[in-house]
Amino acid sequence: MDMKEPFETVVVQHGVTVLRVCRALLEVHDADDAWSETFLAAMRAYPELPETANVEAWLVTIARRKAIDVHRAAKRIPLPVAELPEAPTALGIPGADDTDVWIYVGKLPEKQRQAITFRYLVGMSYAEISTILGGTAEAARRASADGLKNLRRNYPGARSQSELAKGARS
């Protein structure tokens, strides 16, 4: 009988991936909060998680929902107009050299942005992406392909799909 690994091990193994997802969907200060909220929620639910579950996909789903919560909450908070906010960071992944590509990824329609993030940043399969986003694996593949097509058309430093994927994972 296999035993589930300790939750601390799950955090160590998947913490960077969850942070990358949070930073791809949110600004840095919100992403750090969403990362913490993701693991707090996961820690509470972890004892009930089946041993056969895909832990990474489960955590990414929680992170995505936490990011949605942040976006919903932000819509209800008025922004002061006396001062301009600090410029948002273009940092999509920690240590990446090609940070300006994430500005263009952020401008994609939501489904395309999420499909590209989960595929090329997290390395998930289209079937796993479809589980998170809803729909079919083919719809996830199409959203990713359309997103890449839009990036190639709009991003000044556009490269081939394999170069984009390699750059997103570095």
What is the topology classification, in CATH, of domain 1-80?
Answer: Rna Polymerase Sigma Factor; Chain: A (1.10.1740)
Residue spans per domain, the chain: 1-80, 98-170
Alpha carbon distance 49, 99 (integer Å): 35
At residue 59 the predicted structure's pLDDT band, cuts being 50, 70 and 90, is: very high
Q: Which of the 8 DSSP states describes residue 156?
A: T
Return the pLDDT at 88: 52
Alpha carbon distance 38, 7 (integer Å): 13
pTM of this structure: 0.51
- Average pLDDT on 150-155 reads 84
What is the topology classification, in CATH, of domain 98-170?
Answer: Arc Repressor Mutant, subunit A (1.10.10)
Question: 139 exposed, middle or buried (CB, 10 Å; 0-12, 13-18, 19+)?
Answer: middle
